[in-house]
Structure 1
Amino acid sequence: MIAYGPYGIDEGDMGSIFGISWSMYNGYFPHRDFVYIKPAFSPYFHSLPLYISETYAYLINRYLYFAQVFTYSYLASAIAFKLLNLPKKYIFFIATIGALVSIHNYPPMPWNTVDGLFFSIIGLFFVTKTTKKWWWIVLGAFFLFLGALCKQPFYFFPPLVALFLLFGKDLKAFIILSISGLLFAGVFILLFWWQDALNPFIEQMFSFTSGSSLLNTGVKSYYLGIKFHVLYIVITIIGIWLAKKYLSRNLAFLLIHVLIVTIFVWLYYKNESLYKPLKYGIIHILWAFGVLYSIVKSIKQPKYTILVVLFGLSWCASISNGYNTPIDFSTPSILFISILTLGETFTIKKWTPPLLIGIYLGTFYLGYQYPFNEENRNQLNHNLGNLYPHLQTIHTSKERYDKFEELKVLSNRYDNFTILPSMTLGHYITNTVNPIGVDWVFNHHLADELENYKQMLSDKNLTIFIENFEDHKDNYQETSLLTVFVVDNWVLKEKHKHFRVYQQR
């Protein structure tokens, strides 16, 4: 956390949640005051560090990412080990491997998927406590509800937990969970109705999330992951069969992890992003085989249904139009590998855990030499804290430092501005309030309210800073019609290397 939290920054994704958090912290109510196409608990949650320190809230949230992943990996391992009667002394080992795979080289930043996993696992932990007092179920329902309020795919998880209780013939817990969930949903609906945000919430939430998105990311991506790796899958299956037949369990367990590490190292060595399907096909494949294994085992041993539930949560995390992979919650796949090779006895040589953790830490180190949308780490030697107190300790490249410096000059010159299309940290770092409430103004994020935002820009008599975006992979000419409208209809006042300044005619 200390070594990698401060390195790298990205104008878009790394502030897309936190920029909304800053607006909410400054009094905006989601959906009513600005468009947001997901349930808004994530930005609310990540606004909490702002009440601790406005200056260090961004850094706290970056550290929080690591803490969240290790926490939900540990809790998931604890749940599985308890219900499967596995040796508890290995919980932390499996959790650590699961967390390190989940982290891979993912940018440490606030994100809906990570929040959904975090609260969902806490909810499942309370629901599956050995002492089934009714208040544990209610508390579990509350956290499951918070998980669902982070992102639409997590709507699937509370019903899955309810089915898990029914399958286990725990009717009392099922009834308490269902009633509690309905009560929490009722309170939420009343709150949004009272704030005149209920109808906008419903309209915006489903403006970009469709059935086709579910099929493409929740089904098709898994099919393609297997389709494009059939030869490797066959070779791996044969290899695992031979390893189990001729090698000790411990050595077979070790070799599978060495294979995973080798694939990660190859990808990092090629300096190719894990954000493309080819890169994380291995995680889809592990998920698919893990689910099949868990279902087959559950038929004879119902206790294995907990693995099905955990894989279900991993699937929820993969339903995304952006980062559609189950890698953010890899603990179920690590558990699958462990049980497949070691059996339920989990006899592991004493030297194996430190060796494997060391190997995975090595891949972690290598992966983080290439922060998301940044230069190599050895080029990230410019401290943005020299420009903005809110970015203390955050290091970036010379080119990006110059861009942030240019923004500082412009923000000091104009006091009623907003930035288009995607400088999502712009108002937080300049300690200003965004007049339009939303920093990420690509078409689908405006939920068909483009005309309203055009009018808002005019009514508030804003000065617009527009990023020079033509050479970027997300060229605004195709993806942000609000930006195109300003370019075509407003007056260009200044032009600099990174930004242009527009005002109304």
Structure 2
Amino acid sequence: MSVYSQIKLKRRYLALATAWILLIATATHMAYSAYGFNPTDDGFTLAYARRIIDGQVPHRDFIIIRPALSPLLHTPEIILGGQWTYWLSRFIFFLQFACISWFGTSFIRHRLNNSMTLPDQCIFAIISFTLGCHSFPVMAWHTIDGLFLCTLALHLHSVLSGRYRPLIYVLLGLAYLCKQSFIFVAPGVLLISGDWRDWRNFIASSMPGILYIGMLGLFGGVLDGWQQLFAQTGILRVGIASYLNVHVLAGVITGITASILLYRRVHDGKQQFESNCLLGGRTLIFGTLIMVTISLFFNSTTSTAFSLFGMVCGTTIYLFLRRDYRWCSVVQTGLIVALIAWSASLSLGYNTPALANGPLAVYLAGLAYEQAKKQRPHWFTRISITTMLFSIIAFHHTRMHHIYRDQPAKKLTASIGNILPGGLSISTNPNTYAFLSDLNLAIENVLARGLEYAIVPAVAGHWPKAKQKNPLPIDWAQGTELSSEALRNRVIQSILDRRDQQMIIVQKVKAPSLASGFTPIDENDTFYFIVAYIRAHLEPIVATEFFEIYR
């Protein structure tokens, strides 16, 4: 093929990729972004972004237990969004997931060295999108930012020459500045791919972290950063103990069995037996993918994701133990995909590899595709299209019926554009609407007294476009974000230091469960320690239906 033909082919591929990503992102955004809102997670990352725009230094001026690249990445949504901030942010969410799906599928396609066509890649990318996006809340989030950077880097790793490797490892280094659990990805890819032989790649993957520490040193936030970034110490529980379950075990056994059937070699005269083995292996793989798709209907993808992870591990273990496959690209790809899924799952609130369902599923489908070339490739195309259509139906169902911390879409009749700054075109349930309306009454009560207001414990969604800056160093004052005594004391001290300038608006009811009713906050609930402290040490001034105001 001539150089001109290669350039023309690459341009066509780039045009197709861009069109696919924009089409999927726009279609899902228009279909689902309007539904659901909860003032806890929604706006959490955007509230941090607002602080950066206001000139605050991460860790020094506000508490953030993760590196601050994610808030920085989402500052354009605050600057450009206006009253449409949440609407714009939700488009970015779907755009990122479309990119994750395309980049991940492209990486696996190139690494497995198979003859997957572009139409096939589009089919697998759609399956990847529906399984990876599943019912996860439509919001700016650090794990999604990290996955986006990882899959972008791996896509470039598979299509660019070796001289661009340092750039690729800079991207992998940036991923752990979104969430520190991704710190294992860059060294893992270095070792698995053999890129460790070039010292420049080590430096490139370390540079983002070095620059981040340098930034904190320049602005005086190193000690605060150390205190916050290492506040959580439960990696053994979320990274190992959570994987010791029956779903992973069943996945490993299924993966090994499928690999034995797919890669079985027989002597002449036994072609029918080999054909049956290949059929059995493909059936196990697509049966698992359909099982995960079915779980979308019941909003149980977080559990079945462990089965997908185990299956990838099982196939990789089997191939590694075979001498003819021991360290080939198929094994390397399986290890990298599993590593990224595991890194994404290291979380107290979402301890599952479900966000990486897409790459996990495409890797398994890619193995089946590679073996399908030996016989009946049309059968494989038909089952792939069937799986894709089924996944689209299941995805639509879960997006309309299993909305994060909210009611089904048909019950979301209250538009919050007139009561939440930046919330235009977003709808929620009547309970959440009443809660936010009452919050505005409480805020007006404080402002009428000529004072600043702070809100605790769980209304981070108010702050991204609020007219006033948050005077406290935390937007979501709960146990996960304030897991150490030092961090809790910092919040308490900030309340005491500004007692003559501000009033504290305290929730009476729990925000996470607003969709199902108004559950009172228990003073003995250590997760919301700040509520008990304020009620015990500050003076109550006035109360509304859902809030108390203290000074």
TM-score bucket (shorter structure)? 0.7 to 0.9
1:125 equivalent to 2:186? Answer no
User: 8 Å contact 1:9–1:395 — kept in the other structure?
Assistant: yes
1:224 equivalent to 2:245? Answer yes
Superposed displacement of residue 234, structure 1: 7.6
Superposed displacement of residue 188, structure 1: 2.2
User: 8 Å contact 2:256–2:311 — kept in the other structure?
Assistant: no
Q: Specify which of 278, 284, 306 is matched with residue 284 of structure 1.
A: 306
1:214-363 → structure 2 map (5 Å cutoff): 214-226=235-247, 245=277, 247=279, 254-265=286-297, 267-268=298-299, 274=300, 280-298=302-320, 300-301=324-325, 302-304=328-330, 305-345=332-372, 347-349=377-379, 350-363=381-394
Structure 1 residues 454 and 389: alpha-carbon distance in aligned structure 2, compared to 1, 3 A threshold: closer
Larger radius of gyration: 2
User: 8 Å contact 1:17–1:43 — kept in the other structure?
Assistant: yes
1:491-502 → structure 2 map (5 Å cutoff): 491-502=539-550
Q: 1:204 is aligned with what amino acid? A: Q
Structure 1 residues 244 and 457: alpha-carbon distance in aligned structure 2, compared to 1, 3 A threshold: farther
> SS at the partner of 2:247?
helix
Q: Specify which of 372, 378, 382 is matched with residue 414 of structure 2.
A: 382
1:284-330 Cα offsets, whole Å, 9 max, x none, are 12212212312432453311112211111011011111101111011
> SS at the partner of 1:501?
strand
For 1:72, the equivalent position in structure 2 comes to 100
1:196-249 Cα offsets, whole Å, 9 max, x none, are 0112111110111x1xx222222222212438x8699789969x9799649587
Q: TM-score, normalised by structure 1?
A: 0.88
Moved more, 464-473 or 363-372: 464-473
Mapped to 2, the partners of 1:63 and 1:101 lie a distance apart of 18
Q: 2:216 is aligned with what amino acid? A: F
Q: Specify which of 100, 103, 114 is matched with residue 144 of structure 2.
A: 114
1:48 equivalent to 2:76? Answer yes
> SS at the partner of 1:11?
coil
1:188 equivalent to 2:215? Answer no
Mapped to 1, the partners of 2:40 and 2:196 lie a distance apart of 46
Mapped to 2, the partners of 1:443 and 1:290 lie a distance apart of 34
For 2:504, the equivalent position in structure 1 comes to 464
User: 8 Å contact 1:464–1:501 — kept in the other structure?
Assistant: yes
1:413-449 Cα offsets, whole Å, 9 max, x none, are 3230010001011223533210113211114423422
1:393 equivalent to 2:425? Answer yes
1:12 equivalent to 2:31? Answer no
Superposed displacement of residue 57, structure 1: 2.4
Q: Specify which of 113, 117, 122 is matched with residue 92 of structure 1.
A: 122
Superposed displacement of residue 55, structure 1: 2.5
1:242-264 Cα offsets, whole Å, 9 max, x none, are 99649587766654433333333
Structure 1 residues 246 and 21: alpha-carbon distance in aligned structure 2, compared to 1, 3 A threshold: closer
Q: Specify which of 402, 414, 418 is matched with residue 370 of structure 1.
A: 402
Q: TM-score, normalised by structure 2?
A: 0.81
Superposed displacement of residue 24, structure 1: 1.8
> SS at the partner of 1:57?
helix
Mapped to 1, the partners of 2:383 and 2:250 lie a distance apart of 30
Moved more, 22-31 or 150-159: 22-31
User: 8 Å contact 1:253–1:342 — kept in the other structure?
Assistant: no
> SS at the partner of 2:83?
coil
Q: How many residues align?
A: 482
Mapped to 1, the partners of 2:294 and 2:166 lie a distance apart of 44
Superposed displacement of residue 389, structure 1: 4.5
Q: 1:303 is aligned with what amino acid? A: S
Structure 1 residues 234 and 189: alpha-carbon distance in aligned structure 2, compared to 1, 3 A threshold: closer
Q: Specify which of 515, 526, 531 is matched with residue 483 of structure 1.
A: 531
Mapped to 2, the partners of 1:179 and 1:250 lie a distance apart of 42
User: 8 Å contact 2:68–2:177 — kept in the other structure?
Assistant: yes
Moved more, 349-358 or 410-419: 349-358
Mapped to 2, the partners of 1:184 and 1:389 lie a distance apart of 34
Mapped to 2, the partners of 1:234 and 1:443 lie a distance apart of 39
User: 8 Å contact 1:115–1:150 — kept in the other structure?
Assistant: yes
For 1:271, the equivalent position in structure 2 comes to none
User: 8 Å contact 1:23–1:437 — kept in the other structure?
Assistant: no
> SS at the partner of 1:493?
strand
Superposed displacement of residue 332, structure 1: 3.2
1:434-477 Cα offsets, whole Å, 9 max, x none, are 01132111144234222232221122232111111366497563
> SS at the partner of 1:494?
strand
User: 8 Å contact 2:463–2:469 — kept in the other structure?
Assistant: yes
Mapped to 2, the partners of 1:260 and 1:83 lie a distance apart of 24
User: 8 Å contact 2:254–2:284 — kept in the other structure?
Assistant: no
Superposed displacement of residue 189, structure 1: 1.9
Superposed displacement of residue 181, structure 1: 2.5
Mapped to 2, the partners of 1:148 and 1:248 lie a distance apart of 40
For 2:184, the equivalent position in structure 1 comes to 156
User: 8 Å contact 2:251–2:307 — kept in the other structure?
Assistant: no
1:404 equivalent to 2:430? Answer no
User: 8 Å contact 1:443–1:479 — kept in the other structure?
Assistant: yes
Identity, in percent, stands at 20
> SS at the partner of 1:414?
helix
> SS at the partner of 2:192?
helix
> SS at the partner of 1:464?
strand
Mapped to 2, the partners of 1:160 and 1:481 lie a distance apart of 39
Q: 2:538 is aligned with what amino acid? A: W
Mapped to 2, the partners of 1:123 and 1:424 lie a distance apart of 32
User: 8 Å contact 2:101–2:359 — kept in the other structure?
Assistant: no
Mapped to 2, the partners of 1:428 and 1:171 lie a distance apart of 42
Moved more, 95-104 or 47-56: 47-56
In angstroms, what is the RMSD of aligned CA positions?
A: 2.8
Segments of structure 1 that go 5 or more residues without pairing to the other structure are 269-273
1:339-362 Cα offsets, whole Å, 9 max, x none, are 454444453545444432221111
> SS at the partner of 1:480?
helix
Mapped to 2, the partners of 1:234 and 1:76 lie a distance apart of 23
Mapped to 1, the partners of 2:251 and 2:290 lie a distance apart of 19
